[in-house]
A and B are shown apart, each in its own frame.
Chain A
Amino acid sequence: MDPRNFNKFYFAPIGATTMSHSKAAGVFIQDEPRTDWHDETLWFVREKRDKAVRQVPEWEQLRELASGIKDHTLSNLDNYLSAFEKNALANGVKVHWAADAAEHNDIILQIIRENNVLRIVKSKSMLTEECHLNPFLIEHGVEVVDTDLGERIVQFRNEPPSHIVLPAIHLKKQDVSQTFHEHLGTEAGNNDPQYLAEAARIHLRDKFIQSQLAITGVNFAVAETGGFVVCTNEGNADMGTHAADIHIACMGIEKIIPRAEHLSVFLRLLARSATGQPITTYSSHFNRPRVGQQMHIVIVDNGRTKQLGRPDFRNSLKCIRCAACFNTCPVYRRSGGHSYHTAVAGPIGSILNPNLDMKANADLPFASTLCGSCSNVCPVKIDIHVQLWKWRQVLTNEGYAPTGKKIAMGGMAFVLAHPSIYRIAGKMGRWVLRSLPFITNNKTLNPWYKQREMPTPPKQSFRDWYIKNKR
């Protein structure tokens, strides 16, 4: 793989101009059948979630508990992290701390070099995506094999995942078939998911057995035991870590929960919210390295402590990465994950990413209808839609709103504050709609006209009608 090529497609460097969400979404929806398919497929996952949830009468109580445990944990996070570290060290695990993505990547590279490792497998970790670990390692001549099927597919294609649980959800089976034909030599045109998954199984089994080092994420880290839990359906995290001599688990500081009994609440919520399964196939509890194995944990800040200091936004750190908010979001479903140009897309990504880089991600809180569906399905009760609305205000006050929007909003505020001007503007608007429809029915002059018909202008305003009809 050519690293320059990889970088170009994978992620724009931080601070570089990327296509805004609305522009990228405009490109995405040009293929209408595929947009509809994407929309329906994610809604199908949302419906599976609903079915699973309805089988648990105490669901709302569980959400309340999960939210309360996370609120409590954040209010005592320093002590829990210290306790976790102490217990993990006692378990024979090496603990590393990284202030940011660069330090996280350096720590991993150093472990790789100290042990002369050549063959590395990685299971799904959104944190390593956030830190751009793969491109970094490639730049340093180290290749990592992603082992989650969806992640392997997008890795072959030099694309980032488009969804945190379903990384290749933007692709059709024909795309996967073509990709596997090119990289694994599968039969051209054979689109059978069973056949394609079997080819990946054989290909990756070989990688697992050869691997010297396995990188995983962490779903939950338990302060009282120093252990951590990794959840997968495919079994790829376990195949990798149990086969390799070295296991590196990467976690954000917010993955901590106080006690093992709290896992019962989170494991009941996670898979049901994510895919509608009652639990993931494997919920693996790692406490100590096996005989002869090295186990490392990298604890990463990368902006999280800053988010903790923002009272309006800190509870976004309660997120357990189930992606229920993605699957329910009318904007995500119709714009695709890549339009969000960040490792974590969707509604939750839109409230996490402005914290990391306000300028680069100023468009994301506007990629929402504020309908509130995300908050309704969130298993830890994050007020996502409220935070989206609050970020819009912060971004506008900090001067990051797009110029067009600032002028339009300023104009709107002026008109709404002056009743006589408002009445004249209304009259003008109705006249333009009637007499000069080419001005409004124009996709260049009027972005509102894209994918919408303009309404028939009423003969009179409500005010005029009211004055005439009141008696």
Chain B
Amino acid sequence: MSSRENILQAITANKPSFIEPPIIEMKRAVLSSTEAVQQFISTLESIGGKAVIVEGVNLIRENLQLSRDTGAYIVNTIPMLGEVNDEITTATDAHSLEPVFKAYIGATIGIAENGAVWIYESEMKNRLVPFICQHLVVCLDVNKIVPTMHEAYSQIDVAKEGYGVFLAGPSKTADIEQSLVIGAHGARSLLVYLIAPVLK
């Protein structure tokens, strides 16, 4: 008999009698959308990232262009910000992506309680981009911030694409004497632009 059958049979023989699953119903204070945005900003700052609210995308477009003018390898995956780096596909290898200095990618939602953003594989073009770049810039609709992980999972479909990530702040480690070091293996910095509608 294969290990698969052995394991499954042993579980059937040894498992306790059926226990009903609990229902997830959280009772908690309701957060207004302004409070959620403020909490997102302060939480992200406490974990080493930065978030700023911008009206429209003009400022981001300008910053993207300024970055590109320095000659560094800047990757943009968001059409409304300007030219998109079409040379990058799902199949682009690590050697080609290693020189990426800064990457601009979109996110689907943000979470107030932990400063995380959800990014689908399609938003990063290639799974390595948000990790291998030296600096990461994420653009998010300011109205897409939810209070907690419960709302987050109800608004995304984790299995829709091959890969997706909750990303909270820059890469970090405290493995040397519990001293916090920002920039372990992934991006050394994270800037989240919270895009608000342009006021007329």
Between A and B, 20 residue pairs with Cβ closer than 8 Å are A72-B19, A78-B11, A97-B7, A147-B185, A176-B176, A194-B181, A197-B176, A197-B184, A204-B185, A233-B172, A233-B184, A235-B131, A264-B24, A264-B153, A278-B114, A281-B47, A287-B159, A287-B162, A290-B163, A311-B16
- Chain B CB within 10 Å, residue with most, of A77, A91, A97, A281: A281
Contact call A281/B20, Cβ cutoff below 8 A: no
Residue of A nearest to B160 (CB): A287
Instruction: Give A residues with C-beta under 8 Å from B.
Output: 41, 44-45, 56-58, 61, 64-65, 68-69, 71-72, 74-78, 81-82, 91, 97-99, 103, 147-150, 153, 166-169, 171-173, 176, 193-194, 196-198, 201, 204-205, 208-209, 222, 225-227, 233-236, 238-239, 241-243, 253, 258, 260-265, 267-268, 275, 277-292, 299, 301, 305-306, 308-309, 311, 314
Report A-chain residues with C-beta under 8 Å of the C-beta of B167. Answer: 281-282
Given contacts A148-B175, A149-B173, A201-B185, contact A314 B16 (CB under 8 A): yes
Report A-chain residues with C-beta under 8 Å of the C-beta of B175. Answer: 148-150, 153, 166-168, 197
| CB of B52 closer than 8 Å to a CB of A | no
Identify which of B18, B28, B149, B179 contacts A267 (C-beta below 8 A).
Answer: B149
Report B-chain residues with C-beta under 8 Å of the C-beta of A292. Answer: 91
Contact call A260/B158, Cβ cutoff below 8 A: yes
Identify which of A168, A194, A226, A301 contacts B10 (C-beta below 8 A).
Answer: A301
Contact call A58/B28, Cβ cutoff below 8 A: yes
Bound together, the chains give a CA A56 to CA B150 distance in angstroms of 13
Contact call A260/B159, Cβ cutoff below 8 A: yes
Report A-chain residues with C-beta under 8 Å of the C-beta of B153. Answer: 260-261, 263-264
Given contacts A41-B177, A205-B98, A282-B166, contact A236 B185 (CB under 8 A): yes
* CB 8 Å contact bits of B3-26 with A (1 = contact, 0 = none): 110111011111111111110101
Given contacts A72-B20, A97-B3, contact A235 B154 (CB under 8 A): no
Given contacts A61-B26, A239-B186, A285-B163, contact A234 B172 (CB under 8 A): yes
Contact call B178/A44, Cβ cutoff below 8 A: yes
| CB of B174 closer than 8 Å to a CB of A | yes
What's the minimum C-beta distance from A39 to chain B, rounded to whole angstroms? 13
Contact call A78/B15, Cβ cutoff below 8 A: yes
| CB of B135 closer than 8 Å to a CB of A | no
Residue of B nearest to A262 (CB): B24
Given contacts A260-B153, A277-B47, contact A283 B184 (CB under 8 A): no
Bound together, the chains give a CA A301 to CA B4 distance in angstroms of 10
Report B-chain residues with C-beta under 8 Å of the C-beta of A205. Answer: 98, 185
Contact call B148/A268, Cβ cutoff below 8 A: yes
Report A-chain residues with C-beta under 8 Å of the C-beta of B183. Answer: 197-198, 201
Given contacts A205-B98, A283-B165, A287-B159, contact A235 B24 (CB under 8 A): no
Identify which of B11, B22, B47, B177 contacts A69 (C-beta below 8 A).
Answer: B22
What's the minimum C-beta distance from A391 to chain B, rounded to whole angstroms? 18
Report B-chain residues with C-beta under 8 Å of the C-beta of A64. Answer: 22
Contact call A193/B177, Cβ cutoff below 8 A: yes
Contact call A149/B176, Cβ cutoff below 8 A: yes
Identify which of A78, A222, A264 contacts B149 (C-beta below 8 A).
Answer: A264
Given contacts A76-B15, A97-B4, A173-B179, contact A284 B163 (CB under 8 A): yes
| CB of B60 closer than 8 Å to a CB of A | no
Given contacts A41-B177, A275-B174, A279-B166, contact A299 B150 (CB under 8 A): no
Report B-chain residues with C-beta under 8 Å of the C-beta of A261. Answer: 24, 150, 153-154
Given contacts A74-B15, A238-B127, contact A279 B116 (CB under 8 A): yes
Contact call A289/B162, Cβ cutoff below 8 A: yes
Bound together, the chains give a CA A68 to CA B18 distance in angstroms of 12
Bound together, the chains give a CA A221 to CA B68 distance in angstroms of 41
Identify which of B20, B132, B163 contacts A286 (C-beta below 8 A).
Answer: B163
Identify which of B165, B176, B178 contacts A284 (C-beta below 8 A).
Answer: B165
Given contacts A234-B171, A239-B128, contact A282 B186 (CB under 8 A): yes
| CB of B2 closer than 8 Å to a CB of A | yes
| CB of B123 closer than 8 Å to a CB of A | no
What's the minimum C-beta distance from B135 to chain A, rounded to whole angstroms? 13
What's the minimum C-beta distance from A327 to chain B, rounded to whole angstroms? 11
Given contacts A97-B7, A260-B153, contact A209 B94 (CB under 8 A): yes
Report B-chain residues with C-beta under 8 Å of the C-beta of A279. Answer: 111, 114-116, 149, 166, 168
